Amino acid sequence: MLFSLAFRNIVKSKARSIITLLLSTVTTAFFIVYVAFTDGSHFQFIKSSVEIYTGYAHVNLNGYRDEGGYDTLIEDADRIDAILKNDASIKSYSQRFETYALLSGDEKAVGSLVAGIVPSGEKDLSKLHESLIKGAYLEDNDTNQIYIGSELAKRLKVDVGDQIAMVGSSIDYSFAADLFKVKGIFKTGLFEFDSQSAFVNKSYLDTVMLSDNMASYFTLYFHNNNTIDKMTTHLQTSLPSEVEVVNWKILLSALVQAMLVDSIFNYISISIFFLVIFFVIMIFSYVNIYTRAREIGLLRALGLSSKDIFGMLFMEIVLLTTLSIVVGTLIGASIAYYYELHPIVISGIAETYKEYGVISDEIPMNFDLFTIIWNALTIFTLNLAAIIYPISKINKLTAMEAMRYV
């Protein structure tokens, strides 16, 4: 009977029902889109930073991240290579040898990261190849050719074709010095990286540094980078105990911290949003219910208990909210899905935020079913919670008081 009464009330008071439906639908859709947008921009941010050079995971000797230097090099890179080759979860990988050396143009010398890379292997693992702005990218048979960041080129005052001297320490700590010709210049947008990084074909750098069959670390790209923790834990079991797998959450811990701070601010914004929505729904419900005071008084006089009244009004809001949540979720999820496939383009955002690793003007939304479901359930719960106070308030009136209520 309560359900019929509730349904009749919804149909009878069309304007009131439509406004309630609209309010709840818009709120649900807006909330889903907002969360999809903020999550999407975070993921895009992380993706940019991870994919420029760092990579999703590294395999290095224990202690390499803390100590660095030549004391923690992988001394038998071929052995690790063989293990990684046989791991089905890894899509691609490559070894790198990194050192800190002095690079000198005709006028100026600058301390810089000099990394030996496998040029063909890096194409699948980093944005180095795509970031080329002048000259050419490295080839696997290159000898003394160097690929340098745009800001480093400016600091050294060199261009494609110019010569650079490199002075560093080979792994026996004797002097390692050679002359390189600038083959290409890249620009990732990360200022620090572009001003302090240079790359050489690893097989040639190994002859200069005496680092044959040695690597600072291997960089990896899994088939499923979304479950990186699971992937790295699994891979660790097949590696020797002196070698560790470290994923991007540790490699880019500063970025992860920054994202966490940003998320906290987002949650504060969302909380304010919730509070506003809660009071809007509550006030709207309060006004709605009190405009029906006479009707409620009459029902009480006809013998309905306050419990029945509560049930009837609650049923009304459950029906309206369920309908609006379903519609709102469908709208919000569709928008999130569409903009995940066709990212929003904000011209100039990459230029403005390039020092934070933003390399694209595109901001895709994040379509995630689990997130969408919890978003919808949150709005559903808010709607129900907001109606409790107005219902309990009207239920305190007697039948006579309610019928006389103006």
| Binding-site ranges for another protein (CB under 8 A) | 63, 66-67, 70-71, 100, 102, 104, 108-111, 165, 167, 169, 171-175, 177-179
What is the number of other CB atoms lying within 10 angstroms of the CB of residue 101? Answer: 22
**What is the closest distance, in whole angstroms, from the C-beta atom of residue 144 to another protein in the complex?**
11
Residues 6 and 316 sit within 8 Å (Cβ to Cβ): yes
**First-residue to last-residue Cα distance in the chain:** 28
Do residues 362 and 344 touch, judged by C-beta distance below 8 A?
yes
Q: Report in angstroms how near the CB of residue 174 gets to another protein at its nearest.
A: 5
Cβ 76 to another protein, closest distance in Å? 15
Q: What CA–CA distances, in Å, run from 252 to 54, 216, 244, 323, 385?
A: 8, 17, 16, 43, 41
Q: Are 219 and 116 in contact (CB under 8 A)?
A: no
> How far apart are CB 355 and another protein at their closest, in Å?
19
Shortest distance (Å) from residue 328 CB to another protein: 56
Indicate the residue among 162 and 295 with the shorter CB distance to another protein. 162
Give the pair of three-digit tokens for residue 371: 């997130």
**Quick count: other Cβ atoms within 10 Å of Cβ 304?**
18
| Between 106 and 124, CB nearer to another protein | 106
Q: Quick one: 179 or 345, whose CB is closer to another protein?
A: 179
Q: Residues near 139 by Cβ (< 8 Å), separated by ≥ 6?
A: 119, 120, 201
State which H helix or E strand residue 133 sits in: strand 132-135
Nearer to another protein, 70 or 274 (CB): 70
Residue 134 burial by Cβ neighbours in a 10 Å radius (0-12, 13-18, 19+)? middle
CA–CA gap between residue 359 and residue 367 (Å, rounded): 21
Q: How far is the CB of 97 from another protein (least distance, A)?
A: 15
Q: Which is nearer to another protein, 89 or 170 (CB)?
A: 170
d(CA 404, CA 297): 8
Kind of pairing, strands 362-363 and 217-222? unpaired
Q: Which amino acid is at 192?
A: E
Q: Nearest distance from residue 68's CB to another protein, in Å?
A: 9
Nearer to another protein, 67 or 130 (CB): 67
- Min dist CB 102 to another protein, Å, is 6
Nearer to another protein, 75 or 295 (CB): 75
The DSSP code for 217 is E
What is the rounded distance in angstroms from the CA atom of residue 233 to the CA atom of residue 358? Answer: 29
- What residue type is assigned to position 362 of the chain? E
The helix or strand, by DSSP H or E, that contains position 199, with its residue range, turns out to be strand 197-201
Cβ proximity to another protein: between 61 and 315 the closer is: 61
CB 362 within 8 A of CB 42: no
Report the nearest approach of another protein to the CB of residue 217 (Å): 17
Q: Report the residue number, 7 or 69, with the smaller CB distance to another protein.
A: 69
Shortest approach of another protein to residue 137 CB, angstroms? 25
Pick between residue 63 and residue 240 the one whose CB is nearest to another protein. Answer: 63
